[in-house]
Amino acid sequence: MISVLKNQVLRVICGALLIVVSMAAAAEQKKVFGDYEVHYIGLSSSFLTPEVAKLYDIPRSRSLGYLNISVLKHGKEPMPVAQDVNISGTIKNLIGQSRDLEFRRVREGQAIYYISTFRFDDGDMYNFDLDVQPNDAKQKNFDVKFSQRFYEDE
């Protein structure tokens, strides 16, 4: 009886993990610039777990957006390598109100992320314009533009 229950719980957990991984793969957003990939994701900070929000000092709020940027470079290594970059950007709503984004660098082992937060209105579309400058002096700036609608979670 306990063994059957454990198997059912394990199946539910595995199924949930598969769904999360599938959603993450489908939601991948990136721009490619030669050997470089600029990955980005935006979501409501309320989607962050309390532990992650605390770790990175990000307030969890239904109307606070969270933007995560990472830059990878393909080279001689078998896997792409995280890059240190300078990043700046703006967020603009559809009526033209614009704000500057401030990014913080986060390093986790070999991974490097740049995170920013911003207030949003439920259901509004926002245009992001990012200027990404790899610390590699031979490389020019990358102009990363994308639009995304943000919703307060229920």
Banded pLDDT at 127 (limits 50, 70, 90): very high
* 83 neighbors 114 (Cβ within 8 angstroms): no
Q: What is the pTM of this model?
A: 0.77
Specify the DSSP class assigned to residue 45.
G
Model pLDDT, residue 77: 86
Digit-coded pLDDT (tens) for 83-112 = 999 999 999 999 999 999 999 999 999 999
* Structural domains of the chain in order of their starting residue, each with its CATH number: 29-149 (2.60.40.3340)
Closest CA to 148 of 89, 106, 80, 88: 89
